[in-house]
Structure 1
Amino acid sequence: MLHRALLRQVTAHCCSSHSKQCIRSFRVSSCCLDDVRVRFAPSPTGYLHLGGLRTALYNFLFAKANNGKFILRIEDTDQSRLVPQASERLEEMLVWAKIPPDESPEVGGPVGPYMQSQRLPLYQEYVKKLLENGTAYKCYCSSRRLNWLRNDAIRRNEVPRYDNRCRHLSQNQIKEQELKGTESCIRFKLGAVKEPIEDLIYGSLANTVAEQEGDPVIMKADGFPTYHFANVVDDHLMGITHVLRGVEWQVSTPKHLQLYRAFGWNPPVIGHLPLILNRDGSKLSKRQGDVHIEHYRAQGYAAEAILNFVTDIGGGFEGRDSRHLLSVEELIEKFDVSRITKNSCRLDMEKLYHYNQLSLHKCLEDPSELKVLLAQLRDLLRKTYSERLWSSTAQERVLSTDYLTQVLEWSKVRITCLQDLLHPDFSYVWVVPDQLPVSGLPAMPCSHVTVLRRVEDLIASSTDSFTKENIARLVKNVGKEYKLKTPAIMKLMRMSVSGLTEGPPVGEMLAVLGKEAALERIRHAVWLIQSNN
């Protein structure tokens, strides 16, 4: 956990020369120790993925570890890339993941709106300030000219950049363009200075951004701000004290610091989180369906398992013991921003499977969490087997709390998520197999039907509890009676009750199914064998 002394140290530069301005109004980036405010500001261009969740989680943990506020702001200024309902789904996923925002489009708050498309008048107001103080200017360059600049740079093997032509227009030239009604955007004048950065994660850095790019557009011709401009204005007006974002934005930080200086504002403390890579070292992409949080939820992964997985690969904790699953409260208590790793993180999905298995064990021990788990499992089963759970009796048995709990207890060492229980190898747990690999039945001196009917009779007449030990004794007795080896009978039984040639021990399979379901499957197997003859 970040102690107050450390927090004071990393925020000191925000409250030094302009401390009176900080105190005067909370809307001017107050950096008081009791007012820690962080934000997660995604674009609603698709599903929340692991990288986005990691950023949101670390902001949430930092805020809560310091009694601060966690804000969700939707950056939807790029109207061409918007996905319908994406912003609602983003917030829903944060709530599901147990890291709900304190302020957001849904929750509201004192510094809203929290969607940038609803803040356009604010951006117009503040871009005028930069035009008035001479740190911004109108650019009348056509898209044709900009494309020519780009193609010419590529032809010369140079990085494409704007040549700042309109920065140097005379008043007469500007007046001429205005009279002609030439469409314009607004650009910010980058200073040719080496910009020092105190990165909360990476330490001291420096960058001369004007050597790498031309003056950036801050207000597009359609009246929408670019990310860089809206980001700075909103962070200031929302009182954001600390910015934790992906390292891909590190190169833009000098530009943002110059914008703060142009306004006369104090910047927040900024830290950058390392990249998350696939196991093979390739970059994580939103286009990968298997990194979306909604995908994991649909597969039956628990929110706490995903949070533990993300923090395990990204650091932020001392002496992390992967044998234990940490609750959200424990993650907050143990979080230490100084221990976030600087190196790129590689996904090891085995860790996610491990943490979700720990979560399953935890849920089985907690009545309230077990209730939620059972509801999720029932929903999955209804969607998967609704047509095959044809009788009300079958549904009542299979979906009962006792049966589902028994199956979960038995399978907890065999599965990593609820979706695993829908794999064909586990279908016999829920429905009677509709096929029997007759050609694979073990060779026997007597008919398979004779053996199965004898097993059926012994099970039906037995008054002993239906345990794997008693089942083993019963099978052994049948073997003696028909001079059969136990493995052959076990193989016949496995294929009869599950339709599988391999799987868990037969005694366990039958015991989990229960006496009546086991008898039902044996009778059905007899019918299948006879139908095949």
Structure 2
Amino acid sequence: MAKNMPFVVRFQLPSGAHSFQDLVYGWTHHDVASVEGDPVILKGDGFPTYHLANVVDDYKMAVSHVLRGEEWLISTTKHLLLYQALGWHPPEYAHLPLLLNKDGSKLSKRQGDIFIQHFVQKGYLPDTLLDIITNCGSGFSGNQTGRTLPELIQQYNLQSISTHSALLDLEKLPEFSRVHLTRWIEGADTRAQLVAQLQTLLQEKFKDLIFDREYIERILVLRKGHLNILTDLLSPDYSYLWVRPAVHQEDLHGLSSEASDIGRLVVQILQNVRHDTSLDVLSKELKNHLQQLKTTKYSTSMKVLRLALSGRETGPSVAEMMLSLGVEESMIRVQKSLLS
């Protein structure tokens, strides 16, 4: 130092194996001095290494328990010896088994799709990610889908953690997501957040169109339990909700020679529909009226109406489509496709 030469500061370790009790792995022994040698605790630029910074930081913050990945298990002896050298009481340590891919391979940054931001951009809720990660590991009396953060906190038991690695099965993510998205739609405050998010996404995709918050909320409530992620509503399957489809009359009349009669009956129904009509009531009204047709089966009538309303052969029930679109928009589409 007097000669102004570059130097580092090492921590001189006592020889021999040192034992400590980990809250998950039990008693652990590691002769760090003979295996690794004296660790550097201050680098040549004067900055501390992780080992020293970690110990000082935890002590200054009065950390009582350190929970971290099992890869740090062999470093814990160094940290405990640093606590001893500094005359500080150490926290308790619990090392957690690794989170692995479904096939047992390690999660890697090179995969690209394991970053939290990737799932956020896909539309997954924080509750969903927290639930599936805790579900695939241990620390709980049993696994179940749909636990909230308060429930996880209440049920968590450190003594229940095993030393076996947890396998992350992302194929189950849509199932977990559907449960949590349904819960968010059911809650007034969380539903308002979803409406705002979807409104922003729609404005980004359909720049010249304005979507009413009440309309978006109605769609969310009607589609509750059918959506895995919020961005499902931006897929081609739901494009009819945001843009009027191009429907060819010959396609409709090809399904039924009574296509015009179907249109007239439906217009009559919609003219008498109350603004608060339920899905069940509208479904019954459609069935009662459309059974009056001479040659067209009810199921075929539904195909005609679904195509007229959405331009698609599959999708939600016709009654749900009508309630989603609203009476006025439904009448416009039926009249344009079947009666013009």
Query: TM-score, normalised on structure 1?
Result: 0.55
Where does the alignment leave 5 or more consecutive residues of structure 1 unmatched?
Answer: 1-174
Question: How far 1:525 sits from its partner (Å)?
Answer: 4.6
Identify the match of residue 496 of structure 1 among 294, 305, 308: 308
Q: Map 1:185-200; keep pairs closer than 5 Å.
A: 185-200=8-23
Q: Map 1:308-457; keep pairs closer than 5 Å.
A: 308-320=131-143, 322=144, 325-387=146-208, 389=209, 395-396=211-212, 399-400=213-214, 403-433=215-245, 435-436=246-247, 443-444=254-255, 446=257, 451=259, 453-457=260-264
2:89 corresponds in structure 1 to 266
| C-alpha contact 1:190 1:214 (8 A) present in aligned 2 | yes
> How big is each residue's C-alpha offset from its partner over 1:468-500, in whole Å with a ceiling of 9 and x where there is no partner?
23233444444x2xx344444433333332232
* Counterpart amino acid of residue 506 in structure 1: V
Question: How far 1:345 sits from its partner (Å)?
Answer: 1.0
Identify the match of residue 471 of structure 1 among 272, 286, 290: 286
> How big is each residue's C-alpha offset from its partner over 1:111-136, in whole Å with a ceiling of 9 and x where there is no partner?
xxxxxxxxxxxxxxxxxxxxxxxxxx
Question: How far 1:254 sits from its partner (Å)?
Answer: 1.8
* Counterpart amino acid of residue 459 in structure 1: V
Where does the alignment leave 5 or more consecutive residues of structure 2 unmatched?
Answer: none
Question: How far 1:203 sits from its partner (Å)?
Answer: 1.0
| C-alpha contact 1:472 1:507 (8 A) present in aligned 2 | no
Question: How far 1:256 sits from its partner (Å)?
Answer: 1.6
1:246 corresponds in structure 2 to 69
* Counterpart amino acid of residue 456 in structure 1: G
| C-alpha contact 1:496 1:521 (8 A) present in aligned 2 | yes
Distance 2:57 2:239 in 1: 53
Identify the match of residue 266 of structure 2 among 443, 459, 481: 459
* Counterpart amino acid of residue 307 in structure 1: L
Question: How far 1:524 sits from its partner (Å)?
Answer: 5.3
Distance 1:229 1:222, change over 3 A: same
> How big is each residue's C-alpha offset from its partner over 1:183-236, in whole Å with a ceiling of 9 and x where there is no partner?
222222333321212111111111122343233222221222111121112222
More relative contact order, 1 or 2 (CA 8 Å, 6+ apart): 1
Q: Over aligned residue pairs, what C-alpha RMSD do you find?
A: 3.1
Question: How far 1:437 sits from its partner (Å)?
Answer: 8.2
Distance 1:266 1:326 in 2: 36
2:318 corresponds in structure 1 to 506
Distance 1:332 1:290 in 2: 27
Question: How far 1:425 sits from its partner (Å)?
Answer: 0.9
| C-alpha contact 2:256 2:304 (8 A) present in aligned 1 | no
SS of the aligned residue for 2:36 comes to coil
- Length, aligned pairs only: 332
Distance 1:437 1:244, change over 3 A: farther
1:18 corresponds in structure 2 to none
Question: How far 1:510 sits from its partner (Å)?
Answer: 3.1
Distance 1:437 1:210, change over 3 A: farther
* Counterpart amino acid of residue 509 in structure 1: M
Query: TM-score, normalised on structure 2?
Result: 0.83
| C-alpha contact 1:468 1:510 (8 A) present in aligned 2 | no
Identify the match of residue 103 of structure 2 among 280, 285, 292: 280
* Counterpart amino acid of residue 410 in structure 1: L
Question: How far 1:240 sits from its partner (Å)?
Answer: 1.8
* 2:59 maps to 1:236: yes
SS of the aligned residue for 2:78 comes to helix
> How big is each residue's C-alpha offset from its partner over 1:317-338, in whole Å with a ceiling of 9 and x where there is no partner?
2244x25x44433333322111
Q: Map 1:208-247; keep pairs closer than 5 Å.
A: 208-247=31-70
Distance 1:519 1:207, change over 3 A: same
Distance 2:323 2:251 in 1: 24
Distance 1:438 1:228, change over 3 A: farther
> How big is each residue's C-alpha offset from its partner over 1:483-532, in whole Å with a ceiling of 9 and x where there is no partner?
344444433333332232332333433343232222333455569xx9xx
Identify the match of residue 515 of structure 1 among 317, 324, 327: 327
* Counterpart amino acid of residue 310 in structure 2: S
SS of the aligned residue for 1:271 comes to strand
Distance 1:348 1:439, change over 3 A: farther
Question: How far 1:350 sits from its partner (Å)?
Answer: 5.0
